[in-house]
Amino acid sequence: MGPDEHPASLSQQLQRGNLMAAACPSRDVLKHVTSRWGVLVLMALETDTLRFSALRRAVGGVSERMLAQTLQWLEGDGLVERIAYDVVPPHVEYSLTPLGREAAEKVRVLADWIETSLPRIARAWEERQRD
């Protein structure tokens, strides 16, 4: 019921995706990749294969529940590979797929920019104080 539903032919929308359209399936991927923990998980796995608990230590502040859910999302999108060894106690290793590594690269560029730009952004915060 959006006001601007460019049909754009379903086939074309599936081939390329149009994020600005409300119904685009890209929105789901974007949601997973840019989710609160998705960004950090991708970056943590960019260099290393990690077990669940190591990943949890690497990503500060994430709960077990959310880490598991985030990993399931990314696995479902084909960005993360999950290898479970059938032993007790469980031993599960997470790594990035080739697709995941591409995503992680893009995400890291953004994260690096934020980290290095933080002083400039903090200046905006201070100015906002003086309103």
Count of residues of this chain found to bind DNA when the rule CB under 7 A is applied: 26
The 3-class secondary structure across the chain, one letter per residue, is CCCCCCCCCHHHHHHHCCCCCCCCCHHHHHHHHCCCCHHHHHHHHHHCCEEHHHHHHHCCCCCHHHHHHHHHHHHHCCCEEEEEECCCCCEEEEEECHHHHHHHHHHHHHHHHHHHHHHHHHHHHHHHHCC
Least Cβ distance, residue 11 to DNA (angstroms) = 26
From 10-18, 39-47, 89-97, 99-107, span contacting DNA (CB under 7 A): 89-97
The reply on whether position 59 binds DNA by CB under 7 A is no
Least Cβ distance, residue 18 to DNA (angstroms) = 17
The reply on whether position 90 binds a second copy by CB under 8 A is no
Q: How far apart are CA 56 and CA 17, in angstroms?
A: 33
Least Cβ distance, residue 63 to a second copy (angstroms) = 11
The reply on whether position 123 binds a second copy by CB under 8 A is yes
Please name which of 44, 27, 38 lies closest in space to residue 71, comparing C-alpha atoms: 38
Least Cβ distance, residue 110 to DNA (angstroms) = 17
The reply on whether position 78 binds a second copy by CB under 8 A is yes
The reply on whether position 7 binds a second copy by CB under 8 A is no
* Binder of residue 63, out of DNA, a second copy, none (CB less than 5 to 8 A by kind): DNA
